[in-house]
Amino acid sequence: MPCKTLLTLRPVTIPLLLCLLLCLLLGVVSASCRPTPESAPLKVEVDLVLPTPEVNPAEPIPTTPPPRPLLPGQEVAVGAAEVILAFRFGEAMDRASAAAALTVNPAVGMNLQWARDNLVQVILSDLPTGTPVSVTLGTQARSTKGARSPTPLSYIVKRVEPPLVSATLVGQTDISAPGNYKVLPGKKTLRLDFSHPMDTAAVEAALLRAIPPLSQPTLRWENDQVAYLDFDLPVDTAVTVSLAGLPDRAGIPSQGPGQLLIMGVGTVRLLAGNRLDQPGQVSTLLDQFDGGTVSPNGHSVAFTERFQVGESSRVNVWVMDLQTRALGRRGSYVDTGTFALAWTPDSAHLVVAAGHDIVLLSAGSGEARSLSHAGDRVFVGMSVAPRSGRVACFLPAEAKEGASVDLVICNPKTGEARTYPAVTHLLARESHWVPVPSAWSPDEKYIAFPEHLPDGKQTLTLIDPETGATRPLQGPATAVAWSPDGRYLAVRGPEGSWDLLETATGERKPVLPGETFSLAFWSPDGRHLLLGHADKGTTLALWDVREGSPAGAPSTGIPLGWSRDRALWIAEDEPRR
């Protein structure tokens, strides 16, 4: 029975099995022919970025345009020799394959910087003017998941000349960018000249946004390359105009000479006299100067003008001819807290100690020549010999409190320099290095300076500039001034009081006991000492050295020195009636 049943079912079972086998075979073939799922195409976005410009630490960073999206095949004009193409991928990349897939044509400087696995900056440098440069991402670039771009992606930039801009205050052509200036208050107009047709709406928005509303600024266009910025300038108000980053019609940001800062100030008087209570007025000045010094021949005065910009201070140097009253700016320097200024014996030049440099500055033209550069170190003191014009500079071995300070004596005429190591030590106060004051004796046999000891004490010291031999004198000093005959040193103590120290005996005599001053100037005949502060509202006094008593009634003002037999100082303007 079982055999019969099997024989009976066999004709039906065999075709069925064949059918099932055929279905299975067709299914396999169908599955093998069906396309395999692939990763989605690689997503790529590219932005054009201009690198942040290097600026002077005393000036604000110019406006930098925001990133600009780029499309494949699109040519974009740029106004800089260096640009950044920021490639942003939709997923993490295999860095090696992406780097190999990035090419540039024609060959220019190219550097890759990965910010993260899906963001790389392609930095292009030395772009040629007028030649399109193409950056291509090839199809071999892949993500860590295997995604690729189905076609090469090319992004094109072409360097063009950026718009240049200049700015001049109408009616005062000596006031132009870059620079910091103080002017009389009132309505002002700044003329802006552009080398290219500008995006007038964007320029207006950028300029007006940066000016205080109190000044009520408005911008009017003569054409798309000349504009006039009108604004009110109250007393003690500053207007800052940045000339970088203003777009032209093609969106290319301007390259300006820097910022222009204009501040409104009142006036002061420049007075002179052999008595403080009976002065004569030499000139009216803008209230912009905080100090100065008279030339050895008495014909000129150099003024210092300080501007605080952020956390940095800048010093402008001005020179006035006392005979013609002509006044002009001669230079501008960053002040690291140890700025120093002194005349050369012939009254033709000024020696400026500013940060890392000692500069010889022409009093007539403003032409400057470097006398010494300290690299990454900072000069902390300077004085000029009254006959030879040699310059004594104090230079720390390192920027560290307590570090040794070398005395470097250089000759501007021959270029020769002599160094005496570790003559004093570096001190700090309120985030600044304490300046090392010094003074040459009239016969140039000695230089007087305070020796700062590692334990914080001070000793007034004389050093022979020829041999380096030192001679300590009694007591500390924070400022020194040698009398014209070399008999006395005017010495300022730590509390601000002054003494006359007789160099032969070391005997000290107090000057105006109970009074404190920061500045002292000897009269050419050595008879009087003019004392005061770098503040026109503080006491100004005249001391009779021979009599040992005040010479007349005191006054107020900033002492500048002596023009022949007359003291010279800055005083507040007389109140209007």
Residue 522 has pLDDT above 70, yes or no: yes
Radius of gyration of the chain (CA): 37
> Is 249 in the same domain as 356?
no
Cα separation of 402 and 396, whole Å? 9
* 33 pLDDT tier (thresholds 50, 70, 90): very low
Q: What pLDDT, on the 0 to 100 scale, is given for residue 506?
A: 86
Q: Which tokens hold the place of 449?
A: 């300076």
Q: What pLDDT, on the 0 to 100 scale, is given for residue 256?
A: 73
> Is 230 in the same domain as 354?
no
Cα separation of 425 and 542, whole Å? 34
Q: What pLDDT, on the 0 to 100 scale, is given for residue 28?
A: 43
Q: What pLDDT, on the 0 to 100 scale, is given for residue 574?
A: 74
Average pLDDT, the chain: 88
Q: What pLDDT, on the 0 to 100 scale, is given for residue 377?
A: 92
Q: Are 141 and 42 in contact (CB under 8 A)?
A: yes
* 476 pLDDT tier (thresholds 50, 70, 90): confident
Inside any domain, residue 126: yes
Q: What pLDDT, on the 0 to 100 scale, is given for residue 37?
A: 46
**Identity at 256, one-letter amino acid code:** G
> Is 468 in the same domain as 381?
yes
Inside any domain, residue 52: yes
Inside any domain, residue 372: yes
Inside any domain, residue 495: no
Residue 575 has pLDDT above 90, yes or no: no
Domain count within the chain: 3
Task: Give pLDDT tens digits for 66-104.
Answer: 788 999 999 998 888 999 999 999 999 999 999 999 999
Residue 56 has pLDDT above 50, yes or no: no
Q: Residues 111, 116, 118, 119: is their CA dihedral positive or negative?
A: negative
Cα separation of 53 and 69, whole Å? 20
> Is 250 in the same domain as 172?
yes
Q: Which tokens hold the place of 177?
A: 């960018």
Residue 139 has pLDDT above 80, yes or no: yes
Q: What is the pTM of this model?
A: 0.75
CA neighbor of 204 nearest in space, from 229, 225, 187: 229
Q: What is the number of residues in the chain?
A: 577
* 12 pLDDT tier (thresholds 50, 70, 90): very low
Task: Give pLDDT tens digits for 196-212.
Answer: 999 999 999 999 998 98
- Structural domain range at position 66: 44-159
Assign 3-class secondary structure to 71-83. Answer: CCCCEEEECCCCE
**Which secondary-structure segment (H or E) carries 2?**
helix 2-33
Using CA atoms, how far residue 44 sits from 83, 85, 140, 145, 469, in Å, is: 19, 12, 14, 15, 73
Q: Residues 359, 330, 315, 207: is their CA dihedral positive or negative?
A: negative
CATH number for the domain that contains residue 62: 2.60.40.3710
Q: Which tokens hold the place of 174?
A: 């000596």
Inside any domain, residue 319: no
Q: What pLDDT, on the 0 to 100 scale, is given for residue 160?
A: 92
**Which secondary-structure segment (H or E) carries 133?**
strand 132-137
176-180-183 Cα angle (round to 5)? 80
Task: Give pLDDT tens digits for 286-313.
Answer: 999 999 999 999 999 999 999 876 667 8
Inside any domain, residue 326: no
Q: What pLDDT, on the 0 to 100 scale, is given for residue 64?
A: 55
Q: What pLDDT, on the 0 to 100 scale, is given for residue 65?
A: 62
CA neighbor of 477 nearest in space, from 436, 505, 512: 436
> Is 148 in the same domain as 249?
no
> Is 142 in the same domain as 177?
no
Write the burial class of residue 243 (CB in 10 Å: 0-12 exposed, 13-18 middle, 19+ buried). buried
CA neighbor of 223 nearest in space, from 248, 243, 198: 198
Q: Which of 451, 472, 493 is the last residue of a domain?
A: 472
| Range 153-172 average pLDDT | 93
Inside any domain, residue 5: no
| Range 399-408 average pLDDT | 92
> Is 132 in the same domain as 90?
yes
Task: Give pLDDT tens digits for 94-121.
Answer: 999 999 999 999 999 999 999 999 999 9
> Is 232 in the same domain as 134?
no
> Is 354 in the same domain as 427?
yes
Residue 47 has pLDDT above 70, yes or no: yes
Write the burial class of residue 348 (CB in 10 Å: 0-12 exposed, 13-18 middle, 19+ buried). middle
> Is 149 in the same domain as 235?
no
Using CA atoms, how far residue 184 sits from 217, 237, 238, 266, 536, in Å, is: 17, 11, 12, 6, 18
Of 31 and 302, the one with more pLDDT: 302
Tracing tokens 């010999």 back to the chain, one arrives at 385
CA neighbor of 351 nearest in space, from 393, 305, 312, 395: 393
Q: Which of 264, 281, 300 is the last residue of a domain?
A: 264
Q: Which of 403, 438, 472 is the last residue of a domain?
A: 472
Of 26 and 340, the one with more pLDDT: 340
| Range 478-507 average pLDDT | 93
Task: Give pLDDT tens digits for 527-572.
Answer: 999 999 999 899 999 999 999 999 999 999 999 999 989 999 999 9
